[in-house]
Amino acid sequence: MVEQVVIIGTGPAGWTAAIYSARANLKPLIIEGAQPGGQLTTTTSVENFPGFPEGLDGAQLMLQMRTQAERFGARILSGEVASVDFKRQPFRLQLDDGKELETGAVIIATGASAQYMGLASEQKLLGRGVSGCATCDGALYRGKRVAVVGGGDTAMEDALFLTRFAAQVTVIHRRDEFRASQIMAERVKQNPKIKIAWNTVVIEVLDVVREEVTALRLKNVKTGALTELPVAGVFIAIGHQPNTKAFVGQVNMNEKGYILAENSRTNVPGVFAAGDVQDHVYRQAVTAAGSGCMAAIEAERYLKH
Ligand code: NDP
């Protein structure tokens, strides 16, 4: 059976594309991916999605979008896309379990994932004190000292969230000024539980005791001074990488691997991209949802002609 449209990814872009294409009677098949619901499931309260003045839980928002898509007949398949062939029609997708799909149109909405510092000690201790998700793991550090690396809104949000559990939070930033929005930066600076290490980078994650994080070796980039900060956990919040490995060589991308799309259209007719996978600038739930809508409308037009 050849599908009309397959949507890859289940963040706000994927679910919005699913809602629109299901309502257009395209019977979309949605590939759920490794992190169903995407990045919003790792955040706490979403306060800036229009229509929810009190804010709502990110995972709850994703569940509601999923329910809405299913209501109009969207079908959902678990699994990840391992490789694709966009060189001929119908397009072919191979999933990680070996299953093959054929489809007339594809909407790529695979989003982006947290980036790491690239230290060997960081990778070794991932899941044993090193985390890319404060909302997932923060509660494990009740009464302990933790650190957050980064100076953007994610780092601010993580640091504030962690003050609910941790005894003390140190934000480690490589410059002397935050990149984050002023309102978030101010909240961090005013919080008595948060300390800030300016002009500082982590050069090693230390695990003196039983392969669990015990401290960070820090370097002041201005003075070169080395110090040790005792912490039980470190949360990495230094940005994201697009999830486009399966599409390399099949659609045009920029040097960072973000898919190049204009009004959701990629260089391959019939292949569309929506959400963070093609947007490294705005990266908001509402912009992702908007671009998912555009992709579904474009896919419908493409299939009609
Ligand atoms: P950003 O790219 O905005 O910030 C990344 C931060 O990490 C920067 O401060 C950067 O430093 C630092 N950094 C990058 N690489 C390294 C490295 N190798 N070592 C040390 N530090 C590093 O990413 P975010 O994830 O914070 O935010 C992404 C987008 O999502 C932004 O547009 C943000 O506004 C938005 N967002 C909005 C939220 C909200 O509105 N509630 C919540 C979370 C995110 P430098 O500043 O020196 O470049």
> What DSSP string describes 70-117?
HHTT-EEE-S-EEEEE-SSSSEEEEETTS-EEEEEEEEE---EEE---
- Would the CB of 152 count as within 6 Å of ligand 1? yes
- Is the per-residue pLDDT at 210 higher than 80? no
Return the minimum-mean-pLDDT range out of 3-17, 32-46, 206-220: 32-46
CA distance 17 to 7: 7
Residue-level pLDDT at 43: 65
* Mean pLDDT of the region 136-154: 93
Question: Which of 29-43, 64-78, 111-125 shows the lowest per-residue confidence on average (mean pLDDT)?
Answer: 29-43
- Say yes or no to pLDDT of 61 above 80: yes
Give all strands of the β-sheet with 168-172 in edge-to-edge order. Answer: 130-131, 233-236, 145-149, 168-172, 194-197
132 lines ligand 1 (CB under 6 A): no
Distance 219 CA to ligand 1 centre (A): 20
Please check whether residue 22 is in contact with residue 29, taking contact to mean a CB–CB distance below 8 angstroms. Answer: no
Task: Report the C-alpha gap between 202 and 247 in whole angstroms.
Answer: 33
Instruction: Report, as an integer, the average pLDDT of 158-165.
Output: 96
Above pLDDT 70, what percent of the chain? 99
Site to substitute for ligand 1 among 154, 157, 216, 235, most atoms within 8 A of C-beta = 154
| pTM score of the predicted model | 0.76
What pLDDT sits at residue 204? 97
Which residues does 67 contact at the CB level (< 8 Å), separation at least 6? none
Q: Is the CB of 158 under 6 A from ligand 1?
A: no
Q: Which two tokens stand for residue 92?
A: 């072919």
CA distance 260 to 293: 17
Cis preceding-peptide flag for 90 (omega within 30 of 0): yes
Domain 116-236 = CATH 3.20.20.450: no
Answer whether residue 34 shows pLDDT above 90. no
Instruction: Give the mean pLDDT of the chain.
Output: 95
Q: Whose CA is nearest to atom 36 of ligand 1?
A: 153
3-class secondary-structure state, position 43? coil
> By alpha-carbon position, which residue is closest to atom 40 of ligand 1?
153
Q: 31 in ligand 1 pocket by Cβ < 6 Å?
A: no
Same fold, 2-113+240-304 and 116-236: yes
Residue ranges per structural domain of the chain: 2-113+240-304, 116-236
Catalytically active residues are 133, 136-137
| CA–CA distance, 32 with 103 (Å, rounded to integer) | 16
How does residue 47 score in pLDDT terms, banded at 50, 70 and 90? confident
Q: Is the pLDDT of residue 53 over 70?
A: yes
**E-assigned strand segments in the chain:** 2-8, 29-31, 45-46, 56-57, 75-77, 81-85, 91-95, 100-108, 112-114, 130-131, 145-149, 168-172, 194-197, 200-206, 215-220, 226-230, 233-236, 240-242, 271-273
Task: Please name the fold of domain 2-113+240-304.
Answer: FAD/NAD(P)-binding domain (3.50.50)
Does ligand 1 lie within 6 Å of residue 117's CB atom?
A: yes
Residue nearest to atom 15 of ligand 1 (CA): 238
